[in-house]
Structure 1
């Protein structure tokens, strides 16, 4: 797909006007044409329409980012700096986070869709979260960020299973060692299933999925994209679609 866009000017122009930024792109077109002219007059070589690649929605006042993924990555990185595990295992989280974490911590990354890369300190595996390929009680440091809510909805090619989140939670708890830590994030707010994108949980539901684990800290990204560290789970009561970050410790088998 990347090669297609790189080699096809019509596809590049079409992509500039498709999607949620259509009106922004239309409004930015006069400036694009003006900038083309300014550059053309100053450059020693002529610009080619064939090579043009309009990016019309990027001229913004502040750097855009997804608050859930930005803050959950920051949350996990800071927790791992504090706990300093010799080995960390992640199940299905953002690869753009894991590649950075693996620079300082040996990391096993398992995903339903295997990551096909070679990178020092990063060990990619293929596997299913409802049948984890790890021994019972074998993992001391484990993370699963913005994953549990998708299991069993078929979005990523996994089988349809209304109990998918429960099965996945049971597997995460099974492989975690006694005294081990699970770093978990899921959407929190009004409990519902948004088929086939994701589920949204109340914090009490998440606690019920991990009855053998003790909640040691809870942090939250609210509906406005603000991060609240070390906050009460009761703060979720007024939210629609926040991101709850749970640090859980296995206290018993």
Structure 2
């Protein structure tokens, strides 16, 4: 009980040893800095100790990073007339798209500030789709979002079938001939309430059996390595491409009205 609550407010138990050793280095570096010529050229403000970043890498190159880059590259290549996104990261994938095109963004959560090239619409995709969003676009993305539908994490109603209902809503948004870019966790199937669901790779592929054709498939494995393209028809799909909690990324075309 205590650990999840502390984690929710940003407390990271794993960083405690690094913070203690970091304090020693911070104090040593501060004293050295203050004793050097030029240390008094700027007024001194309050100390803001950064204690756990010594020796860390220049950035977190995780699944979201590679997923966002890969799908943005696909969309840049495909050049759709209109692009609509549902629930993807504003401070990642949407930011990439907004550099080179306009994008309509639908999310159950509010958008904190206006963003150039981003047209925001606060909509709950777990309820009936408004008519104006039916067959509204030739290009739709939904990245690392479908696995949350119906778990209540983002203020939506709890529903064990929420992901399937949401998937049907998303499919209805794409015009015949249009493209749907989807990503979700893949591995042995399970629900890790209320964080997310993890789907078998074969399940994700089967979602597009009827009226759709998968054109691209990529995987970010458990070690955050991007594999693109991969053959979704291969025997590896039965083993989730070796993932326990990886990311499957696909682009499918709507082939039937």
Same fold (TM over 0.5): yes
In 1: Cα distance, 2:18 partner to 2:185 partner: 29
2:19 paired with 1:25:
yes
Equivalent residue, structure 1, for 2:224: 225
5+ residue gaps, structure 2: 1-8
Equivalent residue, structure 1, for 2:243: 239
Equivalent residue, structure 1, for 2:82: 87
Question: Equivalent residues in 2 for 1:185-200 (5 A)?
Answer: 185-200=183-198
User: If the length of structure 1 is used for normalisation, what is the TM-score?
Assistant: 0.87
SS in 1 for 2:32: helix
5+ residue gaps, structure 1: 1-14
Equivalent residue, structure 1, for 2:182: 184
- In the superposition, relative to structure 1, how do residues 46 and 40 fare at CA in structure 2: closer, same or farther (>3 Å)? farther
User: If the length of structure 2 is used for normalisation, what is the TM-score?
Assistant: 0.86
Question: Equivalent residues in 2 for 1:93-112 (5 A)?
Answer: 93-97=88-92, 98-112=94-108
SS in 2 for 1:120: coil
In 2: Cα distance, 1:41 partner to 1:224 partner: 44
In 1: Cα distance, 2:179 partner to 2:102 partner: 16
Contact 2:184 2:248 in 1 (8 A): yes
Measured after TM superposition, the shift of residue 95 of structure 1 is: 0.5
Equivalent residue, structure 1, for 2:172: 174
Aligned residues between the structures: 237
- In the superposition, relative to structure 1, how do residues 117 and 17 fare at CA in structure 2: closer, same or farther (>3 Å)? closer
Measured after TM superposition, the shift of residue 62 of structure 1 is: 2.4
SS in 2 for 1:172: helix
Backbone CA RMSD of aligned residues: 1.9
SS in 2 for 1:20: helix
Range that drifts further, 85-94 or 156-165: 85-94
- CA displacement 1:188-213 (0-9 Å, x = unmatched): 01110001100000122123333332
Equivalent residue, structure 1, for 2:121: 125
Equivalent position to 1:115, from 102, 111, 117:
111
Measured after TM superposition, the shift of residue 175 of structure 1 is: 1.0
Range that drifts further, 225-234 or 60-69: 60-69
Runs of 4+ in 1 over 3 A off after TM superposition: 15-20, 45-48, 131-135
In 2: Cα distance, 1:188 partner to 1:166 partner: 16
SS in 2 for 1:149: helix
Measured after TM superposition, the shift of residue 61 of structure 1 is: 4.7
In 2: Cα distance, 1:104 partner to 1:120 partner: 11
In 1: Cα distance, 2:10 partner to 2:194 partner: 27
